[in-house]
Structure 1
Amino acid sequence: MTRNSTRRLATVGAGALSVAALLAAVPGSSTVFAGRPGGAEPVVAQAAKGKPRPDARHVVLAVHGGAGTALKRENTTPAQEKAYRDGLADALRAGGKVLDDGGTSVAAVEAAVRSLEDNPLFNAGKGAVFNEDAGHELDASIMRGSDLAAGAVAGVRNVRNPVSAARLVMEKTKHVLLAGEGADDFAARNGLQTVTQDYYWTEKRWQELLKAKGQQKGSGETLTQGTVGAVAVDAKRDLAAATSTGGMTNKMAGRVGDSPVVGAGTYAKNGTVAASATGAGEVFLRGAATATLSNLIEFGGANLAEAAYEVLVERLPELGGTGGVIALDAHGVFDAPHSSEGMLHGYLTEDGRTVTKIFADETPANS
C-alpha cells in the first residue's frame, strides 16, 4: 500500500474502508463477479418500486461496454465470459492505476476508455462496427467536471484512440467538437497514433453488417455492444466522464449519435454527476439525456439514483428508445440504470475491489 493510495481513497468518500491494494497489483485485492457466491460487494439493493437507490457506494471509477442484448449464461462459454469480464476489469485497472498514482479523473477516464477502444470485443476503436458503406466512422467525447471543459471528435476514420483525440480538442483548442477529416488531421498533427481502416476490421462486425443488410441469415442473435464509457472521481473530488463508439451497424455514412455530444452521451459537473450513456443515440440526443440527469439533481432536488432512473427508465423510453447510463457523484455514489435488456459494466471501489456485470440476470432491466 502506498501513502498516495491511502490519501486518495480516504478523501473520496466518508466512511472509506481500509485501503487494499488496487486490483491484482498487490496481494490481497479481489475481483467480484456480480451474482456469484462469495462476492460480497458494497452494492445497495435496488429499492422497491417508486424509490430508486444507487447500485453501490464508495466507487471511484466505473466503465460500461454498451447496453442492448446482454450475454446469456446458456449461450456463453467460460472463455467468452472470461474475455468480457477481463475486458471490463482491464479498463478499470488502467483507470485505477492513474488514480492510485495521484492522477486526475480526466486522465483516469481517458485511460479506461482507451483500454476498451483497444479491445475488439467492444464497439469502439478496434472493434468498431461498419457503416452502410462498409467503412468505420468513430465518435468520442470527454468532459471535466471542475470547469465544464469538454472536447469531442465525430466521424474520425484514422485515429486509433478517439477518446485521446477528444481530450486534445478540450486541452489544445478553443473548440469543443471537431469532425471528419479535420479531426483526423488535428489528431495526427498532435502526435496521436493513426491507423488505416483495416485496423478496425473484425470478423464479428463484418458478419453483423452482412446480417443487417440481409445478405446473410444468421442463426441466433447479433450481440449489440453499443458504446463504451467511463466515469471517475479523483482525490480532489473532481468528476470526469468519457464516451467512445463506432456507432450503429449499417448506419448512414456521416451519421453522428449522442456519444460525442456534450449533454447527450457525456456530461460531468462537480456537485452533480459524471455520466456516460449508451443506447439509442437519436433518443439520447433528443432527450439531452446526461445534461437532464445533472439538471434534475441541481435544479430538481433529486438524488443521483432518482435522477438517473427518471431519465433512463421513465423519460427516454417514451421517446422511442432504450439504453443505460453509468452515473457517479463526488462522494462515490454510483448507479447504472437501464431500460435495455442488459448493460455490460463494472466498477472499482475505494478498497481496490472490482465488480463486473455482463449477464442479463446480473443487470436486469429497470422497470
Structure 2
Amino acid sequence: MKKLCLVILSLFTFLTVSAQDYANKITLVLHGGAGTITRANMSPEREKAYREILNMALQKGYEILKKGGTSVQAVEATIHVMEDSPLFNAGKGAVFTNEGRNELDASIMEGKTLKAGAIAGVTTIKNPISTAIAVMEKSPHVMMAGKGAEKFAKEQGLEIVDPSYFYTEARYKALLRAKEEEKTELDHDAKEEKEIKKNPKTGFLDNSELIFTEGKKFGTVGCVALDQFGNLAAGTSTGGMTNKKYGRIGDAPIIGAGTYANNATCAVSATGHGEYFIRSVVAYDISALMEYKGLSLQDAANEVVMKKLVERGGEGGVIALDRNGNVAMPFNSEGMYRGYIKSDGKSEILIYKD
C-alpha cells in the first residue's frame, strides 16, 4: 500500500512539473489568408480593421490557454472570431460559388492522439470549425460532407443558420465580376487589382466595399496552439474559391494537406492555392521532414513553402508551431495576415512581406 501511494505521488508530481514546464511555453499562432497583400493596396482604415480583429482572435485563444484550457479549445475560440467576421473568407465572410452559394470547409487535428475531424461543402453551419471538432470527438469518422455533415451538426446541437446569413454584398459582387470575366478567381483576381483606380487624394485603392479584397488573396483562416499540457492542435476554416464549380474542395479540410498536428513534431495550418497544397501534402510534409530528417521547425517549413511549393508553382503560406513553442510563418506570396502570442502575453501581428 505504501509503495502504491509513492507511485501515485510520483506520478502526480511528474504531471504537475510537466504542466508547469509547458505553462511557460504556451503559444498560439494564427493566419487570415495570404496573397498579393501589399501596402500599396491597403488603406490605413483597412489595415486597422484587420489588425483589430486578428488581435481579438489572438487574445481570445490566449485567454483560454492561460486559464488552463486545451489547445483544441483555444484553436476553436480563435477561429470562431475570424469565422464571425466578414473580413475573412471563412464563415460569415465566405465567398460565393458559381451557383451563388456559400460552401464552407473546416478541419481540426490534435497532436497527442493524432485524432482529426473535418467537414466539407456545408451551407448552413455557422461555425464550421466546431462541427469539425465534433466529428473528431463524437463520431468514429474523420470527414463528413454536405447534407450529412449538416445533419450531424444539428444532432450535436451546433448552431445552424439560414444560408442568407453568409451573404455579403462585396463577396456577391466579386462573384458577378468573376462570372463576367468567365474565369475562376482565388478570393479576388489580380486583374481587378489593376482595374480599381487609386484615389488621387489618398493614394490608396478606391472602393470602400472592398475592405477585405485588397488584392488577390487566399482567404482561409487557421490557428495552431500549444497548451500547458504540452499538447499541440491545428485547425483551418475556409469558404473556398470564388466562382468554384462542381463541389470543388480545397486543402483546408484535408488532413495532411491544409492541417496537421503531431506532438512529436509540429502543428501546421496552411493557406494558399489548395490544389498545390493537396498535391504536395504540405502540412504533413513539414512534419515528416522534422521526423525523418531531423530538420528544425523553421527549416522544414521553409523547405516546403519556399522551395518545393515555389518549384511546383504553388502560392501561399503556413503557420507552424512545435512543442518547444518555436514558431514558423513562411509564405511565398506578397503578404499573409499572421500573428502569434507567447506565454508572457507578448504578441505580434504581421501583414506584409517586409
Would you say same fold, with TM above 0.5?
Answer: yes
Amino acid at match of 2:166: Y
> Post-superposition shift, 1:317?
2.1
- Quickly say closer, same or farther: Cα 1:69–1:10, change in 2 above 3 A: farther
| Contact map agreement 1:59 1:333 (CA 8 A) in 2 | no
Residues 96-151 of structure 1 deviation map (CA, whole Å, 9 limit, x = unaligned)? 11111111001110111111100110000000001111111000000000010000
Count of aligned pairs between the two proteins: 311
Residues 168-207 of structure 1 deviation map (CA, whole Å, 9 limit, x = unaligned)? 0000000000000000111011111111111111122112
Equivalent position of 1:219 in the other structure: 196
The DSSP-based 3-state class of the residue aligned with 1:270 is coil
Amino acid at match of 1:133: E
Instruction: Tell me, yes or no, if structure 1 residue 303 matches structure 2 residue 269.
Output: no
| Contact map agreement 2:34 2:272 (CA 8 A) in 1 | yes
Equivalent position of 1:136 in the other structure: 102
Equivalent position of 2:347 in the other structure: 354
Instruction: Tell me, yes or no, if structure 1 residue 187 matches structure 2 residue 164.
Output: no
Equivalent position of 1:67 in the other structure: 34
Instruction: Tell me, yes or no, if structure 1 residue 287 matches structure 2 residue 264.
Output: no
Amino acid at match of 2:170: K
Q: 1:275 aligns with which of 241, 258, 268?
A: 268
> Partners of 1:82 and 1:106 in 2: how far apart?
28
Amino acid at match of 2:30: V
Residues 41-65 of structure 1 deviation map (CA, whole Å, 9 limit, x = unaligned)? xxxxxxxxxxxxxxxxx66001000
Q: Which runs of 4+ in 1 moved over 4 A?
A: 7-10, 215-218, 220-223
> Partners of 2:79 and 2:311 in 1: how far apart?
30
> Partners of 1:319 and 1:75 in 2: how far apart?
27
Amino acid at match of 2:341: L
Instruction: Tell me, yes or no, if structure 1 residue 330 matches structure 2 residue 323.
Output: yes
- Quickly say closer, same or farther: Cα 1:355–1:193, change in 2 above 3 A: same
> Partners of 1:253 and 1:156 in 2: how far apart?
14
| Contact map agreement 2:108 2:117 (CA 8 A) in 1 | yes
Note the aligned Cα RMSD (angstroms): 1.9
> Partners of 2:131 and 2:172 in 1: how far apart?
26
Equivalent position of 2:121 in the other structure: 155
Q: Give the number of the structure whose alpha-carbon radius of gyration is greater.
A: 2
Equivalent position of 2:238 in the other structure: 245
- Quickly say closer, same or farther: Cα 1:282–1:193, change in 2 above 3 A: same
Unaligned runs of 5+ in 1: 1-6, 17-57
| Contact map agreement 1:279 1:323 (CA 8 A) in 2 | yes
The DSSP-based 3-state class of the residue aligned with 2:340 is strand
- Quickly say closer, same or farther: Cα 1:302–1:118, change in 2 above 3 A: same
Q: 1:11 aligns with which of 17, 21, 34?
A: 21
Equivalent position of 2:225 in the other structure: 232
- Give TM-score scaled by structure 1 length: 0.81
> Partners of 1:140 and 1:11 in 2: how far apart?
32
| Contact map agreement 1:128 1:200 (CA 8 A) in 2 | yes
| Contact map agreement 2:37 2:215 (CA 8 A) in 1 | no
Share of identical aligned residues, percent?
A: 50
> Partners of 1:345 and 1:330 in 2: how far apart?
19
- Give TM-score scaled by structure 2 length: 0.84
- Quickly say closer, same or farther: Cα 1:320–1:76, change in 2 above 3 A: closer
Residues 250-275 of structure 1 deviation map (CA, whole Å, 9 limit, x = unaligned)? 11141110000000000000020000
> Post-superposition shift, 1:213?
1.6
